[in-house]
Structures are given as structure tokens and as C-alpha cells.
Amino acid sequence: MSVPAPRPKAVVLVSGGMDSAVTLAEAVAAGFDAFALSFDYGQRHRIELEAAARVAASLGARRHVTLRIDLRAFGGSALTADIAVPKDRLGHGVAETEIPVTYVPARNTIFLSFALAWAETLGAHDLFIGVNAIDYSGYPDCRPDFVSAFERLANLATREGVEGRRFTVHTPLLRLGKADIVRRGGELGVDFGLTFTCYDPQGPSAATRPCGHCDACTLRAEGFREAGRPDPVSG
């Protein structure tokens, strides 16, 4: 009897939203043994973290780690400080190239740095992040140039890189619109009812609902509408 080769390990950033759920599903579908990583960074909407745990379990991640980091010590974003989340902004004449106040300084740089640390510890050479350059709210650290610059950094920053094993930052959603992400998630069996995507959740914690008006809600709703599917969360 031959022993099957172990699956290569990958670290996948999982936020609890629909994009990172589809990203995790892509990693698993590609044959990776997935290690899911989430961050408790003082975000006002902690319901995301519960969604991240549900998503990681439902898609078969081997481990799910939530790291607590204290971005609130720096302030500067509507997601971590006391600044109002903008509503009904997209598609109403507001320049979508403008960087919104919900931008968290250097967030994806920090998240990928921790993913890299875990990957190096695990002996993994593959990182997955659900960034998207189409319907992406204008965050600078979601662009392809950012991702390739991080990949380059990873290969200079680590023992593994120095010893000639290359890190790859996989971005399976990079060129997909939100409707494509909904369709692809459907093909991969993602249960979108487990995900949560809203910058400003409403109601008591036991029955929290998305606000339906922030950028994240607006983009999600457009995605389901264009894909011709009901959103199991808002629907």
C-alpha cells in the first residue's frame, strides 16, 4: 500500500466575509491543506470573527487561529475608531477611486506579514488572500502591484526565501467582479449564509443584521443581484 503524499499547506486569510470564504474554498479545491487566519484588530463589528470561525470549519480548514492585534492604539479608520461609516456612497456620483475612511492603515500589509510568519513556521509556501481589484472600494492594499510587492518582500524576508524556496501569494478573486465571486462560490459549495459582510452591523448581538447601506453591503447586494441569486443573509 502506498501512503498518499501529504497535501501542501497554505495559510489563508479569512475575515468572515464572502470574498475570503470563496478564497478559502479555492485553496481547498486546489488541493491545499488550509490553515485559516483571522484577526481581532479592534473592529467594531465582532460578528465577523464568529462568521470567520463558521466559514473555516464549514470549508474544512485544518486549523483556524484568530490573532488579537491592537490597531486601535493607532486609530485612524472608521472601522477601528469613532468615525462615522459612510452610507449609500457608491453609485451616487462619489468617485469610487477615492480612498474611503473605512480604510485601515497598512491592514493587508500587517495581515500578510502574520500569514508569512505562520507559513514559515508551518513549512508552507503559499498564502491566499481574497483581494479584489474590480469591486474593491478603493483600498490601495488590494491592488495587484501591492500583492506582487509583498511576494517579493516575502522572498527576501524569510529563511525559506533565502534558501531558495519561493513564496506565492495567491489572489484567486483578483480579477473577478462581485457577481463572478458569487457564482464561483456557488460552484465550490460555499454556504454564503455563514458569511457576514457589513461595516456597520445593526441590532442587538444575538440578532445582528447588515446595515444594507455601507460600501460592503452595497457591493455584496450588487453581486448577488447581478448573479441572479438571493443573498441568504439579507434575503
Query: Which residues sit at the interface with a copy of itself, rule CB under 8 A?
Result: 65, 67-71, 73-76, 99, 103-110, 113-114, 116-118, 120-121, 140-141, 143, 145-146, 149-150, 152-154, 156-159, 161-162
Which of 146, 224 has the CB closer to a copy of itself? 146
Given strand 9-13, what is the order of strands in its sheet? 63-68, 33-40, 9-13, 126-128, 168-170
CA distance 209 to 206: 10
HSE-up of residue 37 (Cα within 13 Å, Cβ side): 25
Residue 181 per-residue DSSP state: H
Q: CA distances (Å), 45 to each of 12, 17, 29, 124, 202, in order?
A: 21, 12, 29, 30, 10
Residue closer to a copy of itself (CB basis): 29 or 157: 157
- Beta carbon of residue 2, minimum distance to a copy of itself (angstroms, whole number): 31
Using the minimum distance from each CB to a copy of itself, give the nearer residue, 71 or 176. Answer: 71
Instruction: Report the nearest approach of a copy of itself to the CB of residue 172 (Å).
Output: 20
Residue with smaller CB distance to a copy of itself, 40 or 226: 40
Least gap, CB of 75 to a copy of itself (angstroms) = 6
Residue 80 CB, nearest approach to a copy of itself (Å): 10
Give all strands (DSSP E) within 47-136, no chain letters. Answer: 63-68, 126-128
94 or 188: CB nearest a copy of itself = 94
Closest Cα to residue 227, out of 189, 193, 177, 171? 177
Rounded-to-integer distance, Cα 195 and Cα 24, Å: 12
Count CB atoms within 10 A of the CB of residue 56. 27
Measured from the CB atom, is 50 or 114 closer to a copy of itself? Answer: 114
CB 36 → a copy of itself: shortest distance, Å?
Answer: 13
Which DSSP helix (H) or strand (E) runs through 109?
Answer: helix 107-122
Shortest separation between residue 214's beta carbon and a copy of itself, angstroms: 19
